[in-house]
Structure 1
Amino acid sequence: MKKLGILGGMGPESTLLYYKEIAAAYKRKDKNGNFPALTIEIVNMYEMLGYCKAQQYDKLAEYLLQGIYNLEKAGVDFAVLASNTPHVVFDVLEEKAHIPLLNIVEPTYQAMKEAGIKKTAWLGTGFTMEQACFKKPFVQNGIYVAVPNETERALIDKVIAEELEFGIVNEPSKKAIDGIIQRLIDEEEIEAVIMGCTELPLMYSNEKLPIPVFDTLKYHIKGIVDYMFKE
């Protein structure tokens, strides 16, 4: 089986979730009930976010590549970024890495395509909601992607940065985001919502929304485990 490399720490909660969910899914799939071989390389979330906010994408790519190269030295067969945000430089990383990298957005797009969704919304950090590259595979294939307005984006970003990144789920924050989703349903006529932040699903782990939820982390993990068993 292929050995996985996870570039994590962006933030810690999602990295823990990646490990837990990958290990469980792998164990279910392995005929002997084994756990997967993998290595986790942690980078500094704040340094990564600093490059994003300053739009210093060359420095961001260079910083992340060092982590990927460390994973290569650990003997992994392929690697993933355990966060949506750093995928803004995914194309550069994919070109310069010496091992395959699995993108977080592509499997979510494929699942949405199979479900026949034509209008959706992207919820995530302020950065990902404002960057066109995260919506590219959807838009290029005829799926309309709405995003919250500026005030709503600021609220969601604050909740992610100050609460969810630390594993904190506050009911008032959840109600506020529920309200944003409902407005998008009413005014943008969205048929689904993309949880484009690996921490957002923490808020909806035991809850249902009035429309389907496409969790980028969930579909990424499925693709990762399938790839580990791929001949």
Structure 2
Amino acid sequence: MKKLGLVGGISWVSTTDYYRYINEGINAKLGGLNYAECIIYSVNFQEIHNNNLADNWEGTFLILSQACDSLQKAGAEAILLGANTMHLLADRVAQVIDVPLIHVAVATAEAIRAKGLKKVALLGTKFTMERDFFKNKLEEKGIGAIIPDEEGRNYIAQKLEAELYKGIVTEETRAGFLKIIDQLIAQGAEGVILGCTEIPLLIKQEHLTIPGFDTTKIHSDAAVAFALS
């Protein structure tokens, strides 16, 4: 089994899901008491959040690269960045590490293509929705992405920071997210990417009328496949 390195803490809430999914995935394949060989470097989310709001991506890159270096020195044979937004820097991070970086958007695009979908809604942080780093990986697989209007993007960003990053889930917020998703379905979305690792805490497939793509689970499954390859 190959040893995985996870940059977590962005936020810690979703890092617990990564750890659970990866270990459940290994055990489902191998049975018994087999679980993942996994090293977690949990960063201080406040520092990264401050950097991102200040458009200080160089500062965030330094934090991520140092975390990855520590994971490599501890024996990690592949790296996961445990947050969709951090993949804005993923291609750059991949250039300064000596092991594979398992990219969440690439894994998600492959999952969408397996369903035969061509147009999906993309929910996430403002960075994930408004910048091209995630959408470009989808486009490489022939998948188009649509995002909420400005009011919807602001609503999602506010709820992430005030509630979901802290593990707070309410029915009122779920209804607000589902309203936004319905608007995107009306624009032709055939599926919806839950493209922030905290959104699946709130929105499950049972709440949706179209296929949902939980990027935390998809990313974890890709890590399991690598570990057992």
What is the TM-score normalised by the length of structure 1? 0.95
**Aligned twin of 1:23:** 23
Is the contact between residue 205 and residue 211 of structure 2 (CA under 8 Å) also seen in structure 1? Answer: no
Work out the CA distance in 2 between the residues paired with 1:148 and 1:12.
26
Work out the CA distance in 1 between the residues paired with 2:119 and 2:174.
23
* Gap regions ≥5 residues in structure 2: none
**How much has 1:112 moved relative to structure 2?**
0.9
* Code of the aligned partner of 1:218: K
- Sequence identity of aligned pairs in percent? 36
* Gap regions ≥5 residues in structure 1: none
**Aligned twin of 2:134:** 134
**Aligned twin of 1:97:** 97
* Code of the aligned partner of 2:4: L
1:161-180 pair list within 5 angstroms: 161-180=161-180
1:151-199 Cα shifts (integer Å, max 9, x gaps): 111111111111111111111111011111111111x111111110111
**Aligned twin of 2:189:** 190
Q: For the aligned residues, what is the CA RMSD?
A: 1.3
2:13 matches 1:13: yes
2:54 matches 1:54: yes
**Aligned twin of 1:143:** 143
Q: Paired residues, what number? A: 229
Is the contact between residue 78 and residue 101 of structure 2 (CA under 8 Å) also seen in structure 1? Answer: yes
**Aligned twin of 2:215:** 216
**How much has 1:32 moved relative to structure 2?**
4.0
Is the contact between residue 120 and residue 193 of structure 1 (CA under 8 Å) also seen in structure 2? Answer: yes
Query: 3-state DSSP class of the match of 2:210?
Result: coil
Work out the CA distance in 1 between the residues paired with 2:138 and 2:73.
35
**How much has 1:142 moved relative to structure 2?**
3.1
* Code of the aligned partner of 1:137: K
Query: 3-state DSSP class of the match of 1:158?
Result: helix
**Aligned twin of 2:4:** 4
